[in-house]
Amino acid sequence: MSEDLQRWRRALRETEQPAYLAIADLIGVDIQSGRLAAMQKLPPLRSAADTLGLNYTTVARGYAEAQRRGLVDAKAGMGTFVRAIAPPPVARTGVGNGLVEMTMNLPPEPRDVDLLERMREGLVHLHVGMDLYALLRYQDFGGSPADREAGARWLAPRLPEVSADRVLVCPGVQSALLALMSTFARAGDVICCEALTYPGVKGIATQLGIRLHPLPMDDEGIDAAEFDAACKAHSPKALYCNPTLLNPTTTTISEARRRELATVARRHNVPIIEDDAYGLLPTRSPAPLATFAPELTFYVTGLAKHVGAGLRIGYLIAPDARQAKRLATTLRTMTVMASPFSIALATRWILDGTATAAVEAIRAESAARQKQAARVLPRDSYLAHPEAFHLWLALPPHWHRMAFAAHLRERGIGVVASDSFAVAQPAPEAVRVCLGGAMDRDASWHALELIAEAFAQEPAAVSGAM
């Protein structure tokens, strides 16, 4: 664990919270990420204290706090060990024994016979109606003119004025975000984002050495005054935001707030990276930021959250054709190209209406799951949108987020603690729950019942029941 302790030491230098609490948080994060395995022994207290540059008592308090949260067990004369936690189960389509996976934010899979048949027809067309060798060759990055036109058609409900020469077809939203962040910022530069944000952006920032500056939010979204203050104090290279059905909280930035943010971005000439991954899911949502600051906004969306996570096709809309060409060069260097097979299928499904039908079916299924949650979970305990496939559960005072997530994992239910989304510590006592994926409604209902049962219990009670 020597490398882990060195990583802990760096994290301890950057946090403002008491060191013993930070140690417990780091243990929890490493358990959740898989860096610490069940029954793995933690470093001895004195050894850890020496490596971390802390006194023995502080590290002992950190281990004790981790034990209080239900993350580790101390065995007299033997040391401190990660608690035995059952491995997450494979997602099931029925109730079975009630164990389901709710960590990955996947759209539900509607059991719609007509939709499935339409999707199969698209696959058959790909096999028998297209030039196979053409799909096996290198392609120009960004998609053919026809593929770009299809992307513009797909985005017409959100950006009706977009032209195909501003559209780039990418191998998923993540690749577009990587290209944009690496274009705008270098190691040590600042990019502003929501205080709770998409973990993929945190990972990109870490990889590139970019500093994320968290912006507080209220019910209408990012605080525009705080963004203005951050622009004056930190000269950020961009604003990243997930304005519709934010992952993880489902917050949607209001139209008024979008106008305010666009005004601030224009005042300071700060580019906007608008990650609208969920933008087409709600029946109604405010116009994109790209409509309020079109000359500054780089709009990104894709099919992963609207059709299925395996269809790794994203669409990046640049402010103009010149900037689209410039970004195409960057993306080509990073990813060569998107899979021609995936692009062909995406274009087919967009043009024949299958993609729109999939969105409608996913929207309806998400609404059904949200109604389940409303019947099972305590009122006012969570944030959600009636057409989203995830929710944000705020925990009662007697639960620590890591202990709650660990308790549910022992019962085969995976939820994601807030640390994965928090840009700064301390993270809130909350977890994200995904209602999609391969599970059916019966499995979703049963899992929500188990979550509600754990929510109502005291940690001491659930520990004693094991």
Domain boundary residue, one of 301, 326, 352: 352
- 304 plus 367 within the same structural domain: no
Residue 70 three-state SS: coil
Q: Phi and psi for 38 in degrees, rounded to 5?
A: -55, 135
- 365 plus 342 within the same structural domain: no
Q: Report the CATH number that the domain containing residue 24 is assigned in CATH.
A: 1.10.10.10
Write out the two tokens for 222.
Answer: 């990012």
Q: Dihedral of CA 16/455/447/194: which sign?
A: negative
Instruction: Give this prediction's pTM.
Output: 0.82
- In 3D space, the residue among 173, 176, 149 whose CA is nearest the CA of residue 163 turns out to be 149
Q: Is the pLDDT of residue 100 over 80?
A: no
Is residue 254 domain-resident? yes
Q: What is the pLDDT of residue 216?
A: 97
Q: Dihedral of CA 257/262/263/264: which sign?
A: positive
Instruction: List, for residues 33-68, the tens digit of each pLDDT value.
Output: 778 888 889 999 999 999 999 999 999 999 988 888
Is residue 119 domain-resident? no
- 220 plus 234 within the same structural domain: yes
- 305 plus 384 within the same structural domain: no
452: containing domain: 356-464
Q: Report the CATH number that the domain containing residue 291 is assigned in CATH.
A: 3.40.640.10
Is residue 58 domain-resident? yes
Mean pLDDT for 398-403 is 91
Q: Dihedral of CA 308/312/318/322: which sign?
A: negative
The better pLDDT of the pair 329, 230 is held by: 230
Is residue 131 domain-resident? no
Q: What is the pLDDT of residue 95?
A: 37
Domain boundary residue, one of 38, 62, 82: 82
- 49 plus 189 within the same structural domain: no
Return d(Cα 200, Cα 343) in angstroms, integer.
23
Q: Is the pLDDT of residue 464 over 80?
A: no
Is residue 278 domain-resident? yes
* Mean pLDDT over each residue of the chain, to the nearest integer: 90
- 346 plus 365 within the same structural domain: no
**Three-point CA angle 136, 140, 146, nearest 5°:** 90
- 320 plus 387 within the same structural domain: no
- 448 plus 312 within the same structural domain: no
Return d(Cα 176, Cα 141) in angstroms, integer.
12
Write out the two tokens for 82.
Answer: 């990660």
Instruction: List, for residues 375-397, the tens digit of each pLDDT value.
Output: 999 989 999 999 999 999 999 99
Q: What is the pLDDT of residue 138?
A: 81
Q: What is the pLDDT of residue 85?
A: 54
Q: Is the pLDDT of residue 250 over 90?
A: yes
Write out the two tokens for 121.
Answer: 């027809």
Q: Phi and psi for 63 in degrees, rounded to 5?
A: -65, -40
Return d(Cα 452, Cα 454) in angstroms, integer.
5
The better pLDDT of the pair 311, 14 is held by: 311
Residue 251 three-state SS: coil
- 252 plus 290 within the same structural domain: yes
Strand (E) or helix (H) holding 328: helix 321-335
Return d(Cα 367, Cα 288) in angstroms, integer.
23
- 295 plus 392 within the same structural domain: no
- 70 plus 18 within the same structural domain: yes
- With a pLDDT cut of 70, the percent of the chain lying above it is 94
Q: Which residues contact 229 (CB under 8 A, 6 or more apart)?
A: none
Instruction: List, for residues 306-365, the tens digit of each pLDDT value.
Output: 999 999 999 999 999 999 999 998 888 888 888 899 999 999 999 999 999 999 999 999
Q: What is the pLDDT of residue 466?
A: 43
Strand (E) or helix (H) holding 463: helix 459-464
Q: Which residues contact 7 (CB under 8 A, 6 or more apart)?
A: none
- 54 plus 177 within the same structural domain: no
Residue 272 confidence class, pLDDT cut points 50, 70, 90: very high
Burial (CB < 10 A; 0-12, 13-18, 19+), residue 206, is exposed
Is residue 99 domain-resident? no
Domain boundary residue, one of 294, 319, 352: 352
